Structure 1
Amino acid sequence: MNDLTQLTYQLDGHVATLTMNAPPVNALTRTLNDELTLALDRISEMDEVRAVLLTSAGKVFCAGADLKGRAENIKVAGDFSAHSRRTRECFHAIRECAKPVVVAVQGAALGSGLAMVASSDIIVVSDKASLGLPEVDVGLLGGCRHAMRLFSHSRLRRMALTGMRVGGEELYRLGIAEVCTTPEDLLPKAMEIAQTIASKSPVSTRMGKHTLNVIEDMSLRDGYRYEQDMTAQIGKTDDAKEAQRAFAEKRAPVFTGR
């Protein structure tokens, strides 16, 4: 992916690391927004990638929307609607990426940054990380619906109405983050989880993530029925048959993604 300018791509085994690099605070510029969407859409169709590690360079994960850039790009009728659509699709690209996304948050993830974190599958944070919705201080809203996937009713409203931030250790205590570690150990811990995912059947993790996305807003009855149907489909794949043979033969499975 040599055409990326504010995002770097690196493949390590079957794990693709995407690193946001838009100094000084990794604000979600139009360029970064479009590059994230493009990279994740490409990764969805790359057989060599089985898991994604999303992180960023510098001390701030993402300070939110690029307000200056947005003002420069919204000049005529239709520009604001186009901007809003582009931003939505960036978050959806993370959630709908066919490959599971592990996010490593080293610093503040605010507004749009929080929405990126909430759109990921597994969250790993450092003890310097924080999630927040500071838009109340500039007369805006942003990321509240995504934050509802992470926080309780009262905590979310306190964050949205006061600008309060929630730190890494509290995110771990609340069960929002899987790991809270030092900044130095953040990427190794996140990579360990991503590599574990990548060691599983790619067809199983791909269909598993898709199923989890679909049933999230379903009733218990409909959601479990859908899950049962998808289980039957997964069970017909070569990878499922290989996993069962390997289990019986007490050996490591060799997956082909079919």
Structure 2
Amino acid sequence: MGVSTTAPDRGVAVVTVDHPPVNALPVSGWYALADALRAAGRDPEVRCVVLAAAGRGFNAGVDLKEIQRGPGHTALIGANHGCAEAFAAVYECQVPVVAAVHGHCLGGGIGLVGNADAVVASEDAVFGLPELDRGALGAATHLARLVPQHLMRALYYTSATVTAAELHRHGSVWQVVPRDRLPDAALELARRIAAKDGGLLRLAKAAINGIDPVDVRRSYRYEQGFTFEAALAGLADRHRAAFTAEKERR
């Protein structure tokens, strides 16, 4: 359980998140993921990182129960800072990052995948931002990297999800495969990337980030300001309490 790193092939590191039951990460989990990604990127032997997850789905965002239990806004602030660090660690990783997505990819999962360099997904993967239903805001920055602007807005306002096949049609998912083929498909793409010169790959990653039209760190931080406003206004607590109560009744 937690975050682990393996090296299944020369030049490839696989960072795997395993936090049952649904990979909704506590504050410490986001920081652990950020640390693992940055460490993999710093390793001179690594030329590509695969970001994967164990269990029922890729990522279900933050641990809302931890936020509800925490005194004041301490846990909320911790979650927002932790998410920001994990998202940035994907984007700023010194080598390309391939996200291998299965099952649900929600909330913070969109932040991770939206900042990845490439995405491979299983046929059962669904992507979405249920933030408004949870009394939060954020990660529109990253959803906008996966779908066109007007679709991003409609998905955000409705909390609707899209399938891997739909994202493939928009060009943001490299390949859609059966669930049991996902690890192999992600590794296949990672091997193709890792076959290139490591020094050139690092330069290419820095160059592509440098010409990005949106500063993802600043953009996400701007969104987070509205999350804090929702919390101060009491909107967040009401929606989070309703969601956690519904989960406990099931």
**Band the TM-score falls in, shorter-chain normalisation:** 0.7 to 0.9
User: Given the alignment, which residue of 14, 17, 20 partners 1:20?
Assistant: 17
- Structure 2 counterpart of 1:222: none
Alignment counterpart, residue 35 of structure 1, candidates 32, 36, 41: 32
Contact 2:118 2:172 survives alignment (8 Å): no
The two structures have a TM-score, normalised by structure 1, of 0.78
Does residue 72 of the first structure (1) align with residue 52 of the second (2)? Answer: no
Q: For residues 29 and 79 of structure 2, what CA distance do their matches in structure 1 show?
A: 13
In the alignment, which residue of structure 2 is the partner of 1:189?
185
Q: Deviations over 1:14-67 (max 9, x none)?
A: 110111100000012212201111111212221121110111011211111111
Is residue 41–residue 49 contact of structure 2 (8 Å, CA) maintained in 1? Answer: no
Partner Cα separation in structure 1 for residue 75 and residue 167 of structure 2: 36
Larger radius of gyration: 1
Shift of 1:82: 4.3
Q: % of aligned pairs identical? A: 34
Q: Which position in structure 2 is the counterpart of 1:162?
A: 158
Which structure's relative contact order is higher, taking Cα pairs within 8 Å and 6+ residues apart?
2
Which segments of 5 or more consecutive residues in structure 1 lack a partner in the other structure? 219-258
- The letter for the 1-side match of 2:171 is G
Is the counterpart of residue 10 in structure 1 residue 37 in structure 2? no
Q: Deviations over 1:63-102 (max 9, x none)?
A: 11111112334x2576644442222111001100001100
8 Å Cα contact 1:6/1:31 also seen in 2: no
Where does structure 2 lack aligned partners over 5 or more consecutive residues?
215-250
CA deviation string 1:175-205 (max 9, x = no partner):
1101011001111111011011111100100
Which residue is 1:206 aligned to?
202
- Cα deviation code 1:105-155 (max 9, x no counterpart): 011100101111001100111110011011222222231111111211221
Q: Paired residue for 1:134?
A: 130
Match of 1:47 among 44, 48, 55: 44
Change in Cα spacing, 1:47 to 1:137, as seen in structure 2 (3 Å) is same
Cα distance in structure 2, aligned partners of 1:66 and 1:81? 13
Please report the TM-score for the alignment, with normalisation by the length of structure 2. Answer: 0.81
User: 1:28 and 1:122 mapped to 2: Cα distance?
Assistant: 22
**Among residues 54, 59, 65, which one is paired with 1:57 in the alignment?**
54
Greater displacement, 42-51 / 79-88: 79-88
